[in-house]
Structure 1
Amino acid sequence: MPAGAARLRLTLADQISESGRMTDPAWRAAIEAVPRELFLGAELYRPNGAAWEPVNLAELDEEEWLRLAYSDTTWVTQVDGIDPADAPGPVVGRPTSSATLPSLVVRTLEVAGIREGDNVLEIGTGTGYSTAILCHRLGDANVTSIEYDPHLSKRAADRLRSIGYSPTLVTGDGLQGHSEGAEYDAIVATCAVRHIPRPWLWQVRDGGSITTTLSGWMIASGLIRLTLDDSGTATGRFTGDTISYMLARPHERPPRPVFHRLPGQPRPSRIDPGLLQDWTGHFIAQLAAPSAEFWTSGENDVVLADVATGSQAWTEVGQDGWTIHQHGPLLLWDQVEVALRTWQKAGSPDQSALGMTVTDETQTVWLEVPDGPSWELPA
């Protein structure tokens, strides 16, 4: 007999609780109640080498499908705007929507500190699963969710209505928020941003919070909860969680150009490029070079390419250690090197040592204390 969905929801709730990502009984009740399989629909993508392979419910038996739905896994539901139902076969591209793993949904909501009676704006409806979790906890009247993609927005609305939820759903740019529902006790983003959109500051009440993942074009991430004071300044510390969300579409990277190593002045590197493989080291490097992309070439070489100026930096290893080559108006490796050495001098702490201050004029991420070493975001 196929395993029942209700029993699998209980098992999933147990797994999330045991992981330490869920401590509030109200969120557990929501995980136990909301049918995740409904929000996955009849098709999704799973990785197949460098491609994404569409999977149809009709190809799986019921038990296999339900176990897939209730695994604590992120399932991609759209690649470059193409639904799996419309894919002719495996596709190569960038995921543009997904069903986020339930433990990350709950962890984000717990970091946000949401309580009964809160008026919440969710940025990124996506499949609607996290919206349903919020509705179960808060009631429809206290939940507003905004989705950039009209197709995803309509589908999520249909699925939410089918199980009796009727939150305020908006189709539009979540970076602009939704002023008609303000003021909010909390704004929670299920996408990542390069900087905090100013409308979010304007739409949260004094003492309210903004919980989001800060990311960038190097695809390094940090989860943070910011609290707004009565002067309009939002401050907070990163949690240290090693989690990530997709970038909001208006903040996405431009298409990566074909990379050619250009001649530049070589010099020995003063840091090991392997530092960029560390979760926090990667994040620090992104703060130092916010318009650059990062990837590895070959077995060990690191490449940085600046989208705005065409500047580049690339490493190679020899008998005497690492050599860095830099080309263009920005000395990208110099910027990254200074930042990472500053972080090392502080003892190479994890992201919980980082904080952020946001005003209408400036947005900075700082190390250890607000007046410590800092990096300004491209706001």
Structure 2
Amino acid sequence: MNWEKEAGRLADRVADPDSRWLAPVATVPRHELVPRWWEADGTGAWVLRNGADDPAAWAQAAYGDRSLVTRVGPLHADRAGPGDRPEGLPTSSATLPSLVVRMLRHGRLGDGLSLLDLGTGAGGLTAYASRRIGDHLVTSLDVDPYLTEAAGVRLAAMGLLHPTFVTADATTRVPGAYERIVSTVGLPAGPGLRPVLAALVPGGRIATTIGRTSLIVTGWKHNDGDVVGVVERDTAGFMLTRSGDDYPPALTGLFALARTSEGETTGIGRYPVVDVAEAWELRSMLEVTTPGVESAFETDGETRTAYLVHPDGSWARATAEWTDPPEVHQGGPQRLWGALERVRNRLNTEGSLPLLGARVRITPDGVVHLSRGGWRGSLGDR
């Protein structure tokens, strides 16, 4: 494989000709970070891909601007056999390079400034940052010991011998102190964010997404411990921070109830059925107004059905033919489809939601306070 040529093409795609990130992307053999990966086969099943079996497909995958899933549930692609068919959600990936570069830009890295990379994954961000500012300034943290070990070995083979790799749960402990923190996992607002904030030195800068949202939050830490910044006019869909070997089980019982129950109320919705997980701004605003909601979506091409469930026992099901007004069934203490429609009302009335560009203040307790004009919202205080 002529990886130098492929990496050069990738660099030209994801960085401008005068960018300081052009050379790091062009000089990292990304295929070595992802020798095996999982691909969805279109039926919901995961199929193992081994790069060495098809070098052309390996090059196309590794040097395309795409994310590659490297772990599903607790099963790493590196450790899987040809017949393995894991079930569950992706739990680690090699993030698409253009998004890695965008997050590094949001982080405002600089010469001599220490960096914490939260969410080692395949090691791509650590590799790019090490090329740019020097590997001795970079620390990479992940909850998965295999990921930190594998990334360390693979980066060392590239001549990057000095990044520090730490295995820890960032929601409970972040060793060290850093002048820059860039996270490629969605950090939880509230108590789980406290250890990360404590590891950022006064005057330091953080760039992260907030869990269950697509919001990229950046800010500078003040001497009083507050981090003050903005919601960038940019979005990202990172995996949630994990505290263990896999994500906690989804609210499967409630989803089953939502699929079959008549519910306590039945009505006609105002707007067409939407896949909430893919409607990033709607999903983000729903997390602000009704935190903790999980969603699912099904379609056979004509009939579209969306489900919302909440840990308090609330659920909603909306079904319609294509763009027709949906029939909505709801149960539990909250009316979740009503909460979603209030967000959509605001979007349609005002033409936008007040999230992107909002001012941010993150207090040491991990609560994310948002404001824009006369609007106020928060994450992590409930």
TM-score (norm 1): 0.86
Contact 1:123 1:177 in 2 (8 A): no
**C-alpha displacement at 1:171, in angstroms?**
0.9
Among residues 4, 7, 28, which one is paired with 2:5 in the alignment?
A: 7
Match of 1:260 in 2: 257
Match of 1:77 in 2: 70
Amino acid aligned to 1:198: R
Aligned identity (percent) is 29
Match of 1:28 in 2: 22
Q: Deviations over 1:143-184 (max 9, x none)?
A: 1111111111111111122222221111111234533x31x2
Match of 1:200 in 2: 196
CA distance in 1: counterparts of 2:119 and 2:6, whole angstroms: 26
Among residues 10, 33, 40, which one is paired with 2:34 in the alignment?
A: 40
Match of 1:374 in 2: 377
CA distance in 2: counterparts of 1:39 and 1:317, whole angstroms: 44
**C-alpha displacement at 1:186, in angstroms?**
1.0
Instruction: Tell me if 1:336 matches 2:340.
Output: yes
Q: Tell which deviates more after alignment, 323-332 or 104-113.
A: 323-332
Q: Tell which deviates more after alignment, 226-235 or 262-271.
A: 262-271
Match of 2:80 in 1: 86
Q: Deviations over 1:285-323 (max 9, x none)?
A: 2322221111224433321111x2221122245999444
Q: Tell which deviates more after alignment, 191-200 or 150-159.
A: 191-200
Contact 1:118 1:186 in 2 (8 A): yes
Match of 2:147 in 1: 152
Contact 2:185 2:208 in 1 (8 A): yes
Match of 2:114 in 1: 119
Instruction: Tell me if 1:360 matches 2:364.
Output: yes
Among residues 304, 311, 314, which one is paired with 1:311 in the alignment?
A: 314
Q: Tell which deviates more after alignment, 331-340 or 187-196.
A: 331-340
SS at structure 1 position matched to 2:234: coil
SS at structure 1 position matched to 2:252: coil
Q: Tell which deviates more after alignment, 8-17 or 291-300.
A: 291-300
CA distance in 2: counterparts of 1:177 and 1:110, whole angstroms: 26
CA distance in 2: counterparts of 1:208 and 1:23, whole angstroms: 28
Q: Deviations over 1:331-373 (max 9, x none)?
A: 323433334434444432474243432113462453524x523
Contact 1:240 1:352 in 2 (8 A): yes
Task: Specify whether residues 79 and 274 from structure 1 end up closer, same or farther in structure 2 by C-alpha distance, changes over 3 A only.
Answer: closer
Q: Deviations over 1:63-95 (max 9, x none)?
A: 442232211111111111212242323433211
Amino acid aligned to 1:292: V
SS at structure 2 position matched to 1:373: strand
SS at structure 2 position matched to 1:300: strand
CA distance in 2: counterparts of 1:66 and 1:257, whole angstroms: 38
TM-score (norm 2): 0.86
CA distance in 1: counterparts of 2:159 and 2:39, whole angstroms: 30
**C-alpha displacement at 1:35, in angstroms?**
1.1
Instruction: Number of aligned residue pairs: give it.
Output: 364
Among residues 206, 210, 220, which one is paired with 2:206 in the alignment?
A: 210
SS at structure 2 position matched to 1:175: coil
Q: Tell which deviates more after alignment, 320-329 or 95-104.
A: 320-329
Instruction: Tell me if 1:294 matches 2:295.
Output: yes
Instruction: Tell me if 1:58 matches 2:52.
Output: yes
SS at structure 2 position matched to 1:29: helix
SS at structure 2 position matched to 1:260: helix
SS at structure 2 position matched to 1:174: coil
Amino acid aligned to 1:37: H
* RMSD (Å) for aligned C-alpha atoms: 2.7
Q: Deviations over 1:86-105 (max 9, x none)?
A: 23234332111111111111
Task: Specify whether residues 66 and 316 from structure 1 end up closer, same or farther in structure 2 by C-alpha distance, changes over 3 A only.
Answer: closer
Among residues 318, 326, 330, which one is paired with 2:330 in the alignment?
A: 326
Task: Specify whether residues 146 and 264 from structure 1 end up closer, same or farther in structure 2 by C-alpha distance, changes over 3 A only.
Answer: same
**C-alpha displacement at 1:330, in angstroms?**
2.4
Task: Specify whether residues 105 and 47 from structure 1 end up closer, same or farther in structure 2 by C-alpha distance, changes over 3 A only.
Answer: same
How does 1:225-236 map onto structure 2 within 5 Å? Answer: 225-236=218-229
Task: Specify whether residues 82 and 227 from structure 1 end up closer, same or farther in structure 2 by C-alpha distance, changes over 3 A only.
Answer: same
**C-alpha displacement at 1:48, in angstroms?**
0.8
CA distance in 2: counterparts of 1:290 and 1:24, whole angstroms: 42
Task: Specify whether residues 63 and 329 from structure 1 end up closer, same or farther in structure 2 by C-alpha distance, changes over 3 A only.
Answer: closer
SS at structure 2 position matched to 1:241: strand
Contact 1:76 1:97 in 2 (8 A): yes
Q: Tell which deviates more after alignment, 357-366 or 128-137.
A: 357-366
Q: Tell which deviates more after alignment, 238-247 or 131-140.
A: 238-247
Task: Specify whether residues 245 and 67 from structure 1 end up closer, same or farther in structure 2 by C-alpha distance, changes over 3 A only.
Answer: same
Task: Specify whether residues 314 and 378 from structure 1 end up closer, same or farther in structure 2 by C-alpha distance, changes over 3 A only.
Answer: farther
CA distance in 2: counterparts of 1:350 and 1:102, whole angstroms: 29
Unaligned runs of 5+ in 1: none
